[in-house]
Amino acid sequence: MRRVTRGEVRTSSEYAAVREEFRRGVLSQKDKRRIHVGTYLTFLFENHDTVLYQIQEMIRAESLTREEDIHHEMETYNELLGDKGELGCTLLIEIDDPAKRAELLAQWKGLPETLYVETQSGKRIPAQFDSRQVGENRISSVHYLKFRLGDQVPAKVGSSHPEIVSETALSAEQVAALCQDLL
């Protein structure tokens, strides 16, 4: 997938002038790429525009102006994007209650190893994940995942973890968006 380049990143004042319109467009794209699995898992499949939005919002929120800071944000967020035939996504484990969140994140240490995208042919593609997001006693509530589908068409997203066995079939609109991202 095409990475965000420095020439695309706007200054804070330039971004302020287009922010609302750009934001609406990106949120529409995110709606097609957000898949809820079970009660607690939300997979947000990233693309060029969602990453550019994150970079612009970080620059805005942190008032970044130094080139090295902007390049750091670009490097960080571009890592979320998959290569050709690969989907990159952010997994959010959404548990509102802090005590329950701490308990479940400790219980679910093996969760990243059980996440998958199932293709239309029925093949389960396991998540590639950053082991740094799995601590000694618990996992993080945010994970950055990649799924190497090649030319396979995604059909479902799921978890086979014994405590979170669940999967969600993708809508036609979601399949179309993710297939576009695979190119």
pLDDT digits (tens, 9 = 90+) for 94-129: 999 999 999 999 999 889 999 999 999 999 999 998
Residues comprising the chain, all counted: 183
pLDDT at 137: 79
Single out the residue of 105, 98, 94, 92 nearest to residue 136, CA to CA. Answer: 105
pLDDT at 101: 94
161 within 8 A of 146, measured Cβ to Cβ: no
pTM of the predicted model as reported, rounded to 2 decimal places: 0.90
Task: Provide the pLDDT confidence category of residue 135 given band limits of 50, 70 and 90.
Answer: low
Q: What confidence tens digit (pLDDT) does each residue in 52-66 have?
A: 999 999 999 999 999
Residue ranges of domains in the chain:
6-182
